[in-house]
Amino acid sequence: GEDVEQSLFLSVREGDSSVINCTYTDSSSTYLYWYKQEPGAGLQLLTYIFSNMDMKQDQRLTVLLNKKDKHLSLRIADTQTGDSAIYFCACFSGGYQKVTFGIGTKLQVIP
Amino acid sequence: NAGVTQTPKFQVLKTGQSMTLQCAQDMNHNSMYWYRQDPGMGLRLIYYSASEGTTDKGEVPNGYNVSRLNKREFSLRLESAAPSQTSVYFCASSEDGHQPQHFGDGTRLSIL
């Protein structure tokens, strides 16, 4: 099956940009998602990108996709303390016809 | 605008007891999912239902059963609970398999 990998932890200062990275293995992944999970809550969809796109911007969020390297990143501009959460990368594999989630990156924002 | 609703939010069981976790969605979605989330393991798919009337095993189905009661509801049953099933359980739904999934707030289940 597909593997989706993320680093476990990222710490940034309030006001800086955060970049959370993700790599995946299935080159037929067609939809790639970013979810946010706050303590005690479920996963909330932040944004997603189709595989025929290189970039998507939505207010403070920028998603970059490098299909050649199978690398996805989420950039959060002007990071705030409210952005502290776990961020999950997920990919829909065209080959396996299912969504695979990464293990999640815990973002800590230091005031 | 409820989205995905899970009940109960918390439950403590003794080993060997049975229990059903309930999930309902009001978005008219075709696909529904059950996941478990454990520290260091991320999200693991237990069962899913691509459409009303169908269910399929996911990555970790042993010890669980599911019922897609109708388009709205998808329940998860533990017939004989074991301590290894202590976890946070999430239900999710999506319009179709590749569309983004919407999650409930989870059920925190402890088995003693």
Distances from the Cα of A13 to the Cαs of A76, A77, A81, in angstroms?
A: 12, 11, 9
| Residue B52: exposure state from Cβ atoms within 10 A (0-12, 13-18, ≥19) | middle
pLDDT at res. B86: 97
A34, closest residue in chain B (CA to CA): B100
The DSSP code sequence of B75-108 is EEEESS--GGG-EEEEEEEESSTTSPPEE---EE
CB nearest to B103's CB, from A31, A43, A97:
A43
Distance from CA of A28 to the nearest CA of B (A): 13
Q: Convert the pLDDT of each residue in A46-57 to its tens digit.
A: 999 998 899 999
CB A102 within 8 A of CB B42: yes
Distances from the Cα of A49 to the Cαs of A81, A111, B58, B74, in angstroms?
A: 25, 31, 25, 28
B99, closest residue in chain A (CA to CA): A31
> Does B97 contact A102 at a Cβ distance shorter than 8 Å?
no
Q: Convert the pLDDT of each residue in B56-69 to its tens digit.
A: 999 999 999 999 98
Q: Convert the pLDDT of each residue in B30-54 to its tens digit.
A: 999 999 999 888 899 999 999 998 9
Distance CA B67, CA A109 (A): 41
| Residue B75: exposure state from Cβ atoms within 10 A (0-12, 13-18, ≥19) | middle
pLDDT at res. A96: 64
Lateral strand order in the sheet of B4-7 = B4-7, B19-25, B74-78, B64-68
What average pLDDT does range B1-22 have in this prediction? 94
Distance CA B45, CA B57 (A): 8
Q: What percent of chain B has pLDDT over 90?
A: 86
- Which of A91, A98, A100 is most worth mutating to test chain B (most B CB atoms within 10 A of its CB)? A98
CB A18 within 8 A of CB A83: yes
What average pLDDT does range A65-80 have in this prediction? 96
Q: Convert the pLDDT of each residue in A88-105 to its tens digit.
A: 999 998 766 788 999 999
Q: How many helices (H) and strands (E) does chain A have?
A: 0, 11
For the cut 70, the answer to whether the pLDDT of residue A24 exceeds it is yes
| Encoded tokens for A18 | 């955060």
CA A93 to chain centre: 16
Distance CA A30, CA A94 (A): 6
CB A88 within 8 A of CB A101: yes
